[in-house]
């Protein structure tokens, strides 16, 4: 009897010991998980503050306020990618490599762009004349191009063109507002380093897609044909390239862009760049890093993949219809361009 009681006591003791060990193990596991979650939270919060700039929204229903504040932050990030301090040369090195080599030209970029010196004349934004558009450049092409080649005095014509030469340095980050109440840019400007144009309609798209965590996108539009012709003159200063693009558009033979029957009235592809916005309790922040902007991860654009033209492969548009939605929204807004208090979501409810 005594032996049996002893065995029962031993079994109970071993059972309690095992329970304690299991509890101890799970306690450590829970503590580890909590520590991991806390560290992850703090790291993500730190990372967010490294890459994202939160801005306060006075009126959450004021889409123009949101667009103007987000645009200035976005443009500042775009600017800072090349206009960086000497201390950041090493950080930028991996983004400025010579082909597949391990040699970086970040130091050259730093010196050429004058580092992060403000209000200089290198790697800056520039304004351009509001009269300058695709139609104007196509008319210019008709004057100075023959069979895809510039005529002998083409450079002289371009140099003496008042509208083309009407450019000056511009610092959008310092402006009080960049778009008006209708979502149109107040000043037309461009950034050569990224071949980015800012001149047309800006609007908000609240269709949520699976490719990123956001509440909505701010969409910036530009005509791809206009951009090709514009930067051939303003960045490359290459009239041969300009006339080549002009010929592609005029003859509708460019296999990379779907130019239709009439490049002015139907469509010469519209490209869209977007700023994904995440709302917070009292404001919002964009979820683009400087690297996202530098690597063009926020573009809806037309590309030629194999024999079938498809839209932007970065966000798998084969599975979504982002471009069609953005373009239809853009068309609705353009059709109501002169309305006051226009609905910037472009759902067709803008008041006439």
CA atoms within 13 A on the CB side of 209: 16
- C-alpha–C-alpha distance, residues 205 and 202, integer Å: 10
- C-alpha–C-alpha distance, residues 292 and 323, integer Å: 19
Q: Which residues pair with 310 in a beta bridge?
A: 303
- C-alpha–C-alpha distance, residues 268 and 345, integer Å: 23
Residue 116, Cβ neighbours under 10 Å: how many? 16
pLDDT of residue 312: 37
pLDDT of residue 161: 95
CA atoms within 13 A on the CB side of 261: 2
Tokens of 213: 């965590």
Per-block mean pLDDT, blocks of 10 residues, the chain (352 long): 60 63 71 71 50 76 90 90 88 77 82 80 90 92 93 94 94 92 93 86 76 79 87 84 85 50 48 84 79 75 41 39 73 66 44 28
pLDDT of residue 2: 55
pLDDT of residue 305: 37
Closest CA to 140 of 63, 260, 234, 214: 234
161 close to 231: Cβ distance less than 8 angstroms: no
pLDDT of residue 291: 76
């Amino acid at each position: 009897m005594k032996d049996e009681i002893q065995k029962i006591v031993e079994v109970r003791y071993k059972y309690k010991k095992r329970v304690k060990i299991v509890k101890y193990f799970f306690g450590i596991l829970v503590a580890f998980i909590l520590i991991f979650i806390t560290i992850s939270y703090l790291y993500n919060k730190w990372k967010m503050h490294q890459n994202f700039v939160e801005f306060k929204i006075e009126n959450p229903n004021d889409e123009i306020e949101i667009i103007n504040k987000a645009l200035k932050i976005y443009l500042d990030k775009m600017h800072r990618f090349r206009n960086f301090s000497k201390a950041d040369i090493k950080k930028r090195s991996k983004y400025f490599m010579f082909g597949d080599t391990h040699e970086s030209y970040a130091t050259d970029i730093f010196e050429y762009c004058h580092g992060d010196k403000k209000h200089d004349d290198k790697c800056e934004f520039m304004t351009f004349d509001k009269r300058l558009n695709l139609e104007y450049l196509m008319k210019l092409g008709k004057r100075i191009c023959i069979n895809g080649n510039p005529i002998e005095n083409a450079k002289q014509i371009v140099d003496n063109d008042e509208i083309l030469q009407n450019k000056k340095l511009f610092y959008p980050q310092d402006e009080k507002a960049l778009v008006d109440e209708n979502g149109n840019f107040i000043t037309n400007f461009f950034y050569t380093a990224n071949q980015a144009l800012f001149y047309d309609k800006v609007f908000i798209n609240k269709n949520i897609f699976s490719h990123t965590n956001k509440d909505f996108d701010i969409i910036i539009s530009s005509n791809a044909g206009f951009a090709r012709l514009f930067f051939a003159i303003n960045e490359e200063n290459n009239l041969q390239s300009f006339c080549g693009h002009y010929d592609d558009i005029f003859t509708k033979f460019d296999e990379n862009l779907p130019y239709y029957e009439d490049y002015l009235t139907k469509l010469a592809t519209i490209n869209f760049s977007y700023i994904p916005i995440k709302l917070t309790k009292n404001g919002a922040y964009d979820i683009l890093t400087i690297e996202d902007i530098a690597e063009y991860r926020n573009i809806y654009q037309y590309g030629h993949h194999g024999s079938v033209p498809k839209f932007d492969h970065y966000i798998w548009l084969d599975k979504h219809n982002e471009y069609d939605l953005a373009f239809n929204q853009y068309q609705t807004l353009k059709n109501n361009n002169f309305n006051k208090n226009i609905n910037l979501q472009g759902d067709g409810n803008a008041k006439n």
